[in-house]
Amino acid sequence: MSIQAAIEEKLQALEPNVLTVENESHRHAVPRDSETHFKVTLVSECFEGLMPVKRHQRIYALLADELSGPVHALALHLYTPREWEASGQTRPDSPNCRGAGA
C-alpha cells in the first residue's frame, strides 16, 4: 500500500465530510516518485470545539507511524463543516519549495 493510501485510510477514523490527501513531493528536492511531502485537507464534525493545535494532535496521533518514518512534511488544513463553508470550500495553496529542482 502506498503511503498516500495509508494516510487516506487512517484519516477515515475522523469520519470526514471532505478528505483530500495530495502528494506534493514532486515540488521538493527529493527523488522521483517519493512520498515524503503531503498536504491534507480534512473537514469533519470531530473538529467542532477544538482549537487548531488539538486538531493537529489528533492527526499526528493517527499518522504516528508515517510521521516517524517516511513522511518528512505534512501540511494540514483542518475545518469543521461550518468553517469549510465559510472558507468558500477552498484551502491555501502551498508555497513553492526553494530546493525543488536542486
Q: How confident is the model at residue 93 (pLDDT cuts 50, 70, 90)?
A: confident
Whole-model pTM over 0.75: yes
Task: Note the pLDDT of residue 28.
Answer: 66
* Homologous superfamily in CATH for domain 3-86: BolA-like (3.30.300.90)
Strand spans (E) along 1-102? 18-23, 37-43, 73-79
Q: What is the domain partition of the chain in residue ranges?
A: 3-86
Q: Is the Cβ–Cβ distance between 36 and 69 less than 8 Å?
A: no
The torsion of the CA quartet 91, 64, 73, 23, rounded to 10 degrees, works out to: -60
Mean pLDDT of the residues in the chain: 88
β partners of residue 20: 41
